[in-house]
Amino acid sequence: MSANSSTDRRRPQQSRASAWAGRIIAGLVIVFFVLFFVVPIIWLLIAPTKDGRELLLSQPFAVGGWEQFAENWDSLVSYQGGLIWTWLGNSAFYSLAALVLTLVISVPAGYAMALTEFRGRRALLSLTLVVMLIPSTALVLPIFLELSAVKLIGSPLSVILPFSFFPFGVYLTYIYFSTTISRDLLNAARIDGAGEFRVFAQVAMPLATPVVALVGFFSFVANWNNYFLPYVMVPGRKAPVQVGLAEMLSNVPQFNPTNVASTMISLPTLALATIVSVAPVLFIFLFSQRFLVSGMTAGGTKE
Amino acid sequence: MSSQHRRQPTRTTRLLAATASLAVAGLLAGCAGGSTEVNSDYGFVTAEQDPSSTITVWADASRQPSVEAFEAANPDIKVELVVDDGSAGGSATFQTKISLADQAGEGWPDVVFSTQNNDASWASKETNGVQAFAAPLNKGFLEDDFLDGFTPGALDPLTVDGTIYGLRNDLAPVLFWYNKPLLDEFGYTVPTTWEEYQELSDKLAAKHPGYFLGSVGDSFAGTYVYYWSGEAPIFTLDGDTFSSDVTDPNSVKVTELLDHMVDNGTLIQDSVFSGEFVANADKLVGIPGPAWYAGALFQNTESVNAQPGQWGTSAPLYWDGEDKVTGNVGGGTWFASSHSKNLDAVKTFMEFITSDEAAAGSGGLPAYASAADAWLAKQAESGFFDGDFEGSVSTAASSVWDGWGFPNFSVETAYAKVIVPALAAGKSIADVAEEWQTEMENEAQVAGYKVG
Amino acid sequence: MSNNTELAAAPVGVRQPAGARRRTRKPDSAQARIGAIFSSGYALFLLVFGIIPAVYAVYLAFTKNNAFAGVDNFIKIFSDFRFLPAVGHVAIYVGVWVFSLIILVVLLAVIVHAVRVRWLSTSVRFLFYIPGALAGASSVMLWLFVLDPSVSPVSFLLHALGNDSFVDTVRVDQLPFVLAIIAFWTGAGGWIVIMYGALNNISTDVMEAARIDGAGPVATAWYIQIPLLRKWISYMSIMSLAAGTQLFVEPRVLSQASKGVVPADYSLNQLAFLYAFKQSDFNGSAAISLVLLVVALGLSAFFVFRGGLFERE
C-alpha cells in the first residue's frame, strides 16, 4: 500500500469537501424518498379521524376529531358483529401455519441446493425459476381442481398448503447459503467426523438466522396479503382480512353505487379497516428488523 | 456414475408418475356425471334430492337481515349463509366461483345473490358440458301465479328466450328529483319532458350560472339514467346478436342533450360521490336518477343531506310525444342452483326472500308488486319527500323500457373507457360516439355475441 | 498434504485440493443423500403446486374441450382486439419498472447502509417498508384519493404534471408510469431490506481495505459492493421481470378505484383472467399465460447467465 506523498497531502482536503457534498446529496435523496413512501401513509392515518364528507372536502392533512374516530371505529367493529376480528384471526392462523411449513420445507431445500451436490439439483433450480415465472392466473384452476379432488375446498388446509409452496423463499435461502457459507467451513466439520445432518444443524443453521427470518417474514407477508387464493378457497367467515376488506368495499357507495342498500360503510371506516389489516405486518417488521438485516460478519469464510 | 445415482432418477420418476396419475384421476373424477334425464316436474336435470340437507346461500352483507328473517320464519329449514361481496364493482365473484365449481364438478351453492342484473346471460347457458347453473323457474319449479306477482318488467333482465332464470330482488327505476325551494325561488316548474329539462338548463345557464342539473361523470349515470331513459338503442340484445346504434334518432337526441348541457355547465363531470358534487349540492336544482338516490344522496348526511320537504319526486322524463319510458340503475337478483339437492327448501327461500314484506327489497324498492306497495306506503308515511313519492316511483317502476339488453358484459366499461376521458379532455360525446359504439361491439364479440 | 492413495482409502467427505486433482470430482454419496432428503419436501410441493399445474396449463393451451386443438387457442388470443394493446402496455410498464427498481433500490440500499447512525438507518428502512404492507386490495381507496388532484395529499405534484382530475391522472399515455410508481412504492421497501442484508454480508475487512486504499463512497459502491451483490441484483431483476410481465394487481386496483376508466383488460395477465373467468375460456387463458411465461423466461435467461445465478462460489 505505497502511497504517493503528494496525493496524500491532496487527499484530505479533497475528501473532506467531497465527503460533505456526498453526505448532503445522500441526505437529500433519503429525505425525498422518505417523503415519497410516507406521505400517502400519513394521509391514510389521518383519514379515520374525519367523516365521509370531511374526507372529500377538507385539506388532505387536516386532522378531524377524536369523536369522529370513535364513530368510525364503532362502525368497523360492529360490522357483521365484529367480523373484522374473525378475519384477522383467520389471517393470522393461515399465515403462521403456512410460515412454519414453509420454513420446514424451504430452508433445508435451499441449503441442499446451495451446498450439496445431488442429482436433480440443477433441475430443481431451473424448475423453481420457471414456476415462479408462470402467471398465477394459469395455476388457479389446476390447484382448485387438485384440492377439490381431495375434498379440501373450504378447509384451512386449502390455503395453508398452497401458501407453503414458496419458491421465492427457497431461492432466497439458496442465494444466501451459496454466498455466505463456504464449503471449507462445512468440510472442516465433516473432517471432524460430523454427519451430514449435524453439519446442517450445528454449523449451517446457527449462521442462517438472517435468512430464516427473511424467508419467514416474507412468507408471512405474502400469505397475509394474498387475495385471490383465499377468495376462491375459503369465503365467508373463514376468509382472511384481505378478502374481508374487499367485501367491506362492496358496501361503500362510491364503489358500488348501483346497489346501495341497508349496510353502508363510509370511506373513513374503510380507511380504518385498511390500517387495522396492515398493522400486524408492520408490527412484526418493526420487531424483527434486527434479525432480517443482520449480516454474517463473523468470519469463518475467508482464509 | 455409480449405481446409487441410477436409483434416484427411477425413484423420482416413479413418484412423478404416481402423483400425475393421482392428479389425472382426481380431475377425471370431477367430470363424472349423474342422471341426464330432464325432470319433468321442474324442466331441468335435477340432482338427487335430500329434503333435510342444509341449503347454502351466497349473498352480501346487505342481504343478511333478509336471510335472517327467513330463518326466523322457517326454523325447520337449515340455511348456511356465506357472506361475500355480492359480485359488486366488477369483481364477478358469482361467475368466477361458478366457473371453478363447474370445472370441478362440485361446490355449487343452492342460492346465490348478485348485485349485477346481467348474470342470467351466462348462468342460463351450458358451459363445457356442465348444465347451466341457473335453474329455470317458470318450467314448473315456481308457480306462474307467484311469478306474475312481480312488477311488470322486473324479470326482464332474467328472462332468456322466454325462460325465467332468476328472481329480481329490488328495482331501481329512474325518476326525476327536484329541489323545491330552489325551483320556487327561481320561479321555474318541474320539467316533465327531456325538452323541458334542456330548456331549464338554458335558463339556469343564462340567469343562474353555477346551478346545475346532474352529472355525467358516473358511468351508470350517462348510460342508464340518460340513454336508457331516453329510449336510445345503444345496448340491445336479440338472442345472440348484439347491436348498438349511436346514429339512431333517439341516441342522437340524448347525445345532443348531454353535449348541450355539458357545454352550458348544467351537467358536471364529477361523480355524484365526489367532493365537487357534495360541496356544490346546494346548487343542484334537479336531477334524473334512480330511486335509491333517496338513501344514497338525499337522506345521506355525508352527501346532499337534504331537509325534509326540500327535495321532491316526479314522474320520469320522456321525449315529448314519445313513449313514457324510463331507465333502471341496478337492482339485485337471486338465482337458484340447478344442482341443488334440496329444491323444496330453495323454492321456499326464493319465494320468501322476494315477496315477504319483512325481507323483500332488503332496504330498497322490492321487485314484487305487493311488497313494493307496502314499502312505498311506509316510505311515504315519513313525508320526507315533496310531491307524490309513491306515485312517481310506481310509475317509474312499471315503465322501464324493455328495449335494453343484458349481455354478459357491462355497458359501463365502454362508457368509462371512451366517454369519460373524452369529456375530461374537452371533447364532446358526439365526437367519440362512433368510437364508443365500436368499443361496445368489440366487447360483444369477445364475449361471444354476434354483432348486428 | 494428501495424495491419491489417501483419497482412495477415504472417499467420504474430503474435498481434493485443487492442485492435486487427477480425476473428476464425484459427488459425495452422503452429501447427495442428505441433499435429496432435504429437498424432497420442497420437491413434493413443487410438484403438486408448481409442475402439475404448469403441465395442466400447457395441456389446456393446446386443447379445446379435451380435444387436441393445435395452435387454435393461440390464434384466437392473438387476434383478440385487446391483445396487442395489452402487450404494449405491459412492455412499457416492464421497461420503466425494472429499470427504475434496479437502479433506485441499489442506490437507496447503498446509501442507507452507509448511514452510520443506527436508529436512523433502522427507522428509514422501516419507513421505506411500510407501503409494502399495503399490497393489493387494501390499497384501492388509497389510490382513489392520492391520484385525484382535488383531494390528494400530493395534489400540487399532480397539478404540476398537468393533471386536473382523477381521469387525467390515469389517462392511457401516463398510466404505465403511474402503475410503475405504485408498484415501486409497494415493492421497493422489501428489496431494500434484502439488499441491505446482503450488504451486511460483505466482510468489513474488505470495506476497510477499500477505505484505506482511498476509495470514496461512490467508488466503493461501484467497484466493491455492487459486484458482490451480483447474484442478489440478478435475482431482483428476474423477480421484477416476472412481477412486471405478470402485472395484475395494480391495474385491477386502479380499475376498481376509477370505476372502469382504467380498463379491466389493461394487462395481459388481466386478459388471461377475463378469458378464464368471464368468458369461461380456460384454454385461451392458458394460452395467454404460456405466451407470458415464454417471454418472461427469455428475458430472465439473460439475467440468469449474466448474473451467474446458478453458479456457486
Neighbours of B262 (CB within 10 A): 18
- CATH classification at residue A92: 1.10.3720.10
B132, B217: one domain? no
SS3 label, residue C198: helix
CA distance A109 to chain C (A): 4
Grid coordinates given for A249: 368495499
Query: Is A284 part of any domain?
Result: yes
Q: Contact at 8 Å (CB) between B256 and B262? A: no
Query: Is B17 part of any domain?
Result: no
> What is the largest distance, in Å, between two alpha-carbon atoms of chain C?
82
Chain C: list its partners (3+ Cβ pairs within 8 Å). A, B
Domain that holds residue B250: 174-329+385-451
Which residues pair with residue B289 across a beta bridge?
B175
Place of cell 409494502: C132
B291, B422: one domain? yes
**Element housing B191 (H / E):** none
* Chain C residues lying within 8 Å of B412, measured CB to CB: 259-260
What is d(CA B213, CA B209) in angstroms, rounded to the nearest whole number? 11
Please check whether residue C277 touches B, CB under 8 A: yes
* Chain B residues lying within 8 Å of A257, measured CB to CB: 218, 220, 272-273, 296, 329-330
What is d(CA B82, CA B58) in angstroms, rounded to the nearest whole number? 5
* Sequence-ordered list of residues with C-beta below 8 angstroms from that of C171, at least 6 positions apart, any chain: B421, B424, B425
Describe chain C by its helix, strand, coil percentages, rounded to 5: 70, 0, 25
Query: Is B31 part of any domain?
Result: no
Of A179-193, A288-302, B283-297, B306-320, where does mean pLDDT reach its minimum? A288-302
Please check whether residue C189 touches B, CB under 8 A: no
B251, B343: one domain? no
* Residue C152 vs residues B451, C135, C164: alpha-carbon distances, Å: 42, 19, 11
Query: Is B6 part of any domain?
Result: no
**Mean per-residue pLDDT, C142-165:** 88
Query: Is A299 part of any domain?
Result: no
Which residues pair with residue B313 across a beta bridge?
B177
Query: Is A29 part of any domain?
Result: no
ipTM of the complex: 0.84
Which chain C residue lies closest to A113 (C-alpha atoms)?
A: C35
Nearest to C122, CA basis, from C198, C197, C222:
C197
**Mean per-residue pLDDT, C135-164:** 86
Query: Is A205 part of any domain?
Result: yes
Domain that holds residue A269: 76-293
Selected residue of A119, A259, A263, A269 to mutate for chain B interface (largest B Cβ count, 10 A): A259
What is d(CA A85, CA A21) in angstroms, rounded to the nearest whole number? 51
Q: Contact at 8 Å (CB) between B231 and B250? A: yes
CA distance B86 to chain C (A): 15
Name the domain count of chain B: 2
What is d(CA B232, CA B245) in angstroms, rounded to the nearest whole number? 8
B165, B195: one domain? no
pLDDT at B18 over 60: no
Residue C151 is nearest to which of B96, B275, B445, comparing CB atoms? Answer: B275
User: Which fold, C77-306?
Assistant: MetI-like fold (1.10.3720)
Q: Do C13 and A190 touch (CB under 8 A)?
A: yes
Query: Is A181 part of any domain?
Result: yes
pLDDT at A287 over 90: no
Q: Helix C230-245 and helix C83-114: axis angle, to 10°?
A: 150
B279, B337: one domain? no
* Chain B residues lying within 8 Å of A79, measured CB to CB: 61
Of A248-257, B22-31, B304-313, C268-277, where does mean pLDDT reach its minimum? B22-31
Name the residue ranges covered by the structural domains of chain C: 77-306
- Return the higher-pLDDT residue of B364 and B1: B364
**Element housing B37 (H / E):** none
Query: Is B183 part of any domain?
Result: yes
A79-98: pLDDT as tens digits: 988 999 999 999 999 999 99
Please check whether residue C75 touches B, CB under 8 A: no
Neighbours of B308 (CB within 10 A): 11
The segment with the largest mean pLDDT, out of A28-32, B18-22, B28-32, is A28-32
**Mean per-residue pLDDT, A223-248:** 91
Q: Using 50, 70 and 90 to split pLDDT, how confident is the model at A296?
A: very low
B395-444: pLDDT as tens digits: 999 999 999 999 999 899 899 989 999 999 899 999 999 999 999 999 99
Q: Contact at 8 Å (CB) between B320 and B193? A: yes
Q: Which amino acid is at B16?
A: L
Average per-residue pLDDT for chain A: 85
Grid coordinates given for C135: 399490497
DSSP, residue by residue, C36-77: HHHHHHHHHHHIIIIIHHHHHHHHHHTEETTEE-TTHHHHHH
**Mean per-residue pLDDT, A24-44:** 92
Q: Do A259 and B332 touch (CB under 8 A)?
A: yes
Please check whether residue B334 touches A, CB under 8 A: no
Give the rounded percent of residues in chain C with a pLDDT score beyond 90.
Answer: 33
Please check whether residue B307 touches C, CB under 8 A: no
Query: Is B409 part of any domain?
Result: yes
* Sequence-ordered list of residues with C-beta below 8 angstroms from that of C311, at least 6 positions apart, any chain: none
**Mean per-residue pLDDT, A7-22:** 65
Query: Is B373 part of any domain?
Result: no
What is d(CA A27, CA A289) in angstroms, rounded to the nearest whole number? 22
B395, B293: one domain? yes
**Mean per-residue pLDDT, C206-211:** 85
**Element housing B241 (H / E):** strand B241-243
pLDDT at A233 over 70: yes
Q: Do C128 and A33 touch (CB under 8 A)?
A: yes
Name the domain count of chain A: 1
CB-facing half-sphere around the CA of A163: CA atoms within 13 A: 33
> What is the structure's pLDDT at B414?
92
B339, B359: one domain? yes
B399, B444: one domain? yes
- CATH classification at residue B149: 3.40.190.10
Please check whether residue C10 touches A, CB under 8 A: no
Average per-residue pLDDT for chain C: 83
- Dihedrals φ, ψ of B193, to 5°? -125, 165
